[in-house]
Amino acid sequence: MTTPAVGEVGDPGGATATATATATTLQAGVAANLAAERALLEQHARVVAASEGSNADDEHDPEGSTIAFERQQVAALLRQVRATGEQLQASLAALADGTYGTCLSCGRAIDPERLAARPQARTCIECARRAAARR
């Protein structure tokens, strides 16, 4: 069976075009996320390399942040980027199985404005607020 073109009978409201645009947005997000992950890994390697062979007591250096702090900061950013990558991949899978845009918590539709701002959102804003309040 062929998929009807936008505006044809069987494609009400241009659903095919919308799904294609959403997939493109999510795939671009995945690519950007992978680039950010690579950059953070390189930054982490530079921080580690800078500390090799040094016996400096950077914990008491009044000139700036410690190497340990810099390492932990990069590690935290890396965890955040990887979590976003997982969310983007899950959203692509949801798009493929037809559940994209449906809140995982309550089952209602996620507001299109929320999805436009945060395409990897898997919960509606109300459920996201409740989850944030529990943390």
In a domain, 47, yes or no: yes
* Residue 36 counted as domain residue: yes
Q: Which residue has the tokens 């607020």?
A: 129
Domain span at 107: 16-52+62-134
Whether 10 is in a domain gets the answer: no
In a domain, 3, yes or no: no
Amino acid at 23: A
Q: What is the pLDDT of residues 57-90, one digit of tens each?
A: 555 556 656 778 888 999 999 999 999 999 999 9
Q: Which residues contact 88 (CB under 8 A, 6 or more apart)?
A: 26, 29, 30, 33, 119, 120
In this prediction the pTM is 0.73
- 103: in domain: yes
Per-residue pLDDT of 9-21, as tens digits, reads: 444 455 677 888 9
Confirm whether 118 is domain-assigned.
yes
